[in-house]
């Protein structure tokens, strides 16, 4: 982290807000629900972003009367160790089409190959992503205790948190105006888009969606 704490964002909906503010943000293991029927989340992870919270909030709407909500969450020394990389980031970084094109720093993906099952490179993107999801605990940190979530955020704008995020970690939330979010609601979440437009989407999360032009109300907790 570059400061004493890290702010990340979680897209959800008004229909879920009361429960979240009371009981916290639950992983699928506890909530029994996933926003992605065809690609369920890791059963013990809550997914977070520094870039695409409006998109995820719109994807979580229960019906036409529901409204998108974005939560701002504070991570400090108490809970930062619970952050993991997003399995989508791991799959895309490992993909040979991408690996040589991005600033990976000390993320040595060559050392991962010995852990892959036979035929891994011939597997579909969906199956490779599923393998990373099933083996996510293996990619918490490297041998030097550098945490992979930081690379996940830098390269794809997403990461995840192990277990429930307690309600007292939520700093504020914004109830978005859906009609104002259309231009931010359908990003292509991939390494290339994050490299080119990541700063723009980060500004959307940390600044734009909290402005009264885009928000029906902002509540500081």
- Tell me the average confidence (pLDDT) per consecutive run of 10 residues in the chain, 221 residues long: 79 96 91 69 93 93 94 92 92 70 58 76 89 88 72 93 96 94 80 91 96 96 96
Q: List the Cα angle 125/131/196 in 5-degree steps.
A: 50
Provide the strand spans (E) within the chain: 6-13, 45-49, 68-75, 83-85, 158-162, 170-176, 215-220
pLDDT of the residue at 115: 75
Residue 188 and residue 45: Cα distance in Å, rounded? 22
Amino acid 4: pLDDT:
76
Output the pLDDT for position 2.
43
Q: What is the pLDDT of residue 12?
A: 96
Q: What is the CA radius of gyration of the chain?
A: 17
pLDDT at 114: 66
pTM over 0.75: yes
Q: Which residues contact 134 (CB under 8 A, 6 or more apart)?
A: none
């Amino acid at each position: 982290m570059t400061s004493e704490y890290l702010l990340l964002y979680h897209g959800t909906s008004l229909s879920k807000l009361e429960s979240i503010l009371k009981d916290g943000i639950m992983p699928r293991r506890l909530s029994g629900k996933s926003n992605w029927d065809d690609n369920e989340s890791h059963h013990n992870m809550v997914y977070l972003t520094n870039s695409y919270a409006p998109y995820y909030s719109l994807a979580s709407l229960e019906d036409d009367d529901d409204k998108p909500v974005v939560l701002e969450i504070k991570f400090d020394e108490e809970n930062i160790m619970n952050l993991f990389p997003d399995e989508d980031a791991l799959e895309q970084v490992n993909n040979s089409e991408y690996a040589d094109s991005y600033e990976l720093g000390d993320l040595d993906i060559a050392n991962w190959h010995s852990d892959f099952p036979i035929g891994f490179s011939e597997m579909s993107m969906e199956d490779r992503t599923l393998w990373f999801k099933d083996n996510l605990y293996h990619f918490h940190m490297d041998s030097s205790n550098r945490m992979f979530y930081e690379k996940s955020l830098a390269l794809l704008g997403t990461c995840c948190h192990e277990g429930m995020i307690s309600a007292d970690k939520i700093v504020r939330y914004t109830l978005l105006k859906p009609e104002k979010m259309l231009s931010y609601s359908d990003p292509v979440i991939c390494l290339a888009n994050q490299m080119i437009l990541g700063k723009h989407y980060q500004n959307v999360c940390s600044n734009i969606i909290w402005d009264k032009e885009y928000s029906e109300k902002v509540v500081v907790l």
